[in-house]
Structure 1
Amino acid sequence: MSHSPDLSASPRSAAPRPKTYPQFVLFGDSITQGASHVFGASLTDWYMRRADVLNRGFSGYTAPAGYDNLLQFFTTAPPSSSVPRIQLMTVFFGANDACLPGCPQHVPIERYKQSLRDIVDYEGVKLHDTKIILIVPAPVDEWQIGDTERTAATTAKYAAACREVGQELDLPTLDLWTLFMLKAGWTEGSAGPLIGSKAAAKSQVLDELLSDGLHFTAAAYQLVFDELVKLIREKLPDHVPERLPSIFPDWRAKLGVDK
């Protein structure tokens, strides 16, 4: 049996105040931009009715260029009935910053680190009390990538730099470089060629996680989602969906139906 609300009991003059959903912003480069179908969809489903998951990925962007965009899309107005609070935000840059010197996207490693700090210290982030989750750039696979703009060794240095910023600022950090490399058989302190470089044997694991040596496959995005859920549960337990209020009531309460 269907139920319909008694609209006559809610005259326009008594309309409730507008409500906004808090936001979970995915901020980064093309790897974030391409995350909607698996990672973004899964995150949207997890936060259903509790937060809006917004994709703010910008293909080809570096951390300094991303910071410039942040100033334009992240409001400095305080959260209100018309301004949603940006409650959570992933920050995922480094894949382009790590291009070799001479490439237009190259960003010196110290400037890369400072740009990550600038993002975290942005006044809008402070005003909204946004919880930042830093994502460490994943390894690249030289066997697939087919150009000389990126190397496994250089990307490893930028991953370490991102990790250092996370430790310095005490941020929840999802270390994709280490996660992917461990799955590929790497061990910390191991001698020999770095997995992902052409000096090492071609890695079947990286081949399964990276579609072109840089961008992620569906399997990689699923792995990112699974690990992010673990990180939020461990480091930001007050922000798991089950701890957040549903923005609108259950339909039974809305229609006055007894449970």
Structure 2
Amino acid sequence: MVGPVRPQLVLFGSSIVQLSFSNEGWGATLANLYARKADIFLRGYSGWNSRRALQVLDQIFPKDAPIQPSLVIVYFGGNDSVHPHPSGLGPHVPLPEYIENMRKIALHLKTLSEKTRLIFLSAPPVNEEQIREALSDKLGKPNRTNESCRIYSEACLELCRDLDIKAIDLWTAIQRRDDWLTECFTDGIHLSSEGSKIVVKEITKVLTEAEWEPSLHWKSLPAEFGEDSPYDPVSPDGKATVNVSELCFGIEN
């Protein structure tokens, strides 16, 4: 453990989370925004469904941990939504079980601490043709459809309304972009940099609008060691230094 201790933001989910630090992903963007302000913990597991996540929930989020996360962003649903395989193997989870698994995950996380906040991401859409072209040699005949993603997305959103949890409708948000089919994915499932920009935009909206105390918006958090220093860059007039602790170079958010 290195210090000082900062707020912890945990990204928990399947490959949409695991890969969020690649391809100029949404996780990397969040880590950049929260530099010197909060620590981003990546807990992404490619191929996982809600059933497998529930099995290890206590190991990833122990209730007796001395420091609990300030925010957990959760994504499961896309793998759950794939069509069942005749063998019974594979990631498919029936919709009622998916809803119950997500309920248990949410309730566990809500009890970690009074100030642990949650944002759930619903299943994003998929480009079925791109999946066939990019992944059929690795995963066989495609068994994931945009319609099944919609069903699981809506179930996640309804659950979040029932539990009063902040939720982001990725299935709808991504499809608002006219060229989403060609620009938002790397392989029909996983997000390109353009797809990740939409995720960041939606998370930003939640962080801006949420009436959380304290606020978890990066602009509301103090920069670590943010005091003025004579070792900062010298101002153009040469009479003082410029405090750069709050500057986010190359970031528009």
> Normalising by the residue count of structure 2, what TM-score does the alignment of the two structures yield?
0.78
The number of equivalent residue pairs is 218
For residues 68 and 221 of structure 2, what CA distance do their matches in structure 1 show?
A: 13
Secondary structure in structure 1 of the residue aligned to 2:222? coil
CA offsets per residue over residues 155-206 of structure 1, 9 Å max, x none?
A: 111111111111111111111101122224xxxxxxxxxxxxxxxxxxx421
Partners in 2 of 1:239 and 1:168 — Cα distance?
A: 23
- Contact 1:21–1:84 (8 Å) recurs in 2: no
Structure 1 residue 248: deviation in Å? Answer: 4.0
Does the 8 A contact of 1:26 with 1:54 survive in 2? yes
Unaligned runs of 5+ in 2: 133-140, 232-239, 244-253
Contact 2:11 2:72 in 1 (8 A): yes
Matched, 1:239 2:216: yes
Is 1:74 the equivalent of 2:68?
Answer: no
Match of 1:35 among 16, 20, 27: 20
- Indicate whether 1:120 and 2:111 are aligned: no
RMSD over aligned CA atoms reads: 2.5
Aligned to 1:192: none
Larger deviation, residues 119-128 vs 161-170:
119-128
CA distance in 1, matches of 2:166, 2:51: 21
Give the TM-score normalised by the residue count of structure 1.
0.76
Give 1:122 shift. 0.8
* 2:115 matches 1:129: yes
Query: 2:109, 2:116 within 8 Å by CA — same for their partners in 1?
Result: no
1:22 maps onto 2:7 in alignment: yes
- 193, 199, 216: which one pairs with 1:224? 199
- Going from structure 1 to structure 2, the CA distance change for 1:99 and 1:19 (only over 3 Å counts) comes to same
Moved over 4 A (4+): none
Counterparts of 2:114 and 2:122, CA distance in 1: 23
State whether structure 2 residue 181 is matched by structure 1 residue 206.
yes
User: Deviation string for 1:66-97 (max 9, x for gaps)?
Assistant: 1223211212125xxxx333000111110100
Correspondence for 1:176 among 149, 158, 170: 170
What secondary structure does 2:70 align onto? Answer: strand
CA contact (8 A) 2:49 2:79 kept: yes
8 Å Cα contact 2:17/2:44 also seen in 1: yes
The higher radius of gyration belongs to 1
Equivalent residues of 1:174, 1:227 under 8 A apart: yes
Rounded Cα–Cα distance in structure 2 between residues aligned with 1:23 and 1:221 = 21
Distance in 2 (CA, whole Å) between partners of 1:25 and 1:98 is 24
User: Which position in structure 1 is the counterpart of 2:251?
Assistant: none
Question: Structure 1 52/104 Cα, relative in aligned 2: closer, same or farther at 3 Å?
Answer: same
CA contact (8 A) 1:137 1:158 kept: yes
Q: Structure 1 residues 123 and 251 mapped into 2: Cα distance closer, same or farther (>3 Å)? A: same
Number of the residue aligned with 2:229: 252
| 3-state secondary structure, aligned to 1:112 | helix
Query: How far apart, CA to CA, are the structure 2 residues paired with 1:248 and 1:227?
Result: 29
Tell me the CA shift for residue 45 of structure 1. Answer: 1.7
Higher helix share: 1
Q: Secondary structure at the match of 1:86?
A: coil
Change (3 A) 1:75 1:20: farther
| Identity value in percent | 31
Q: Is residue 173–residue 198 contact of structure 2 (8 Å, CA) maintained in 1? A: no
The code of the aligned residue for 2:56 comes to N
Counterparts of 2:203 and 2:57 in 1: how far apart (Å)? 22
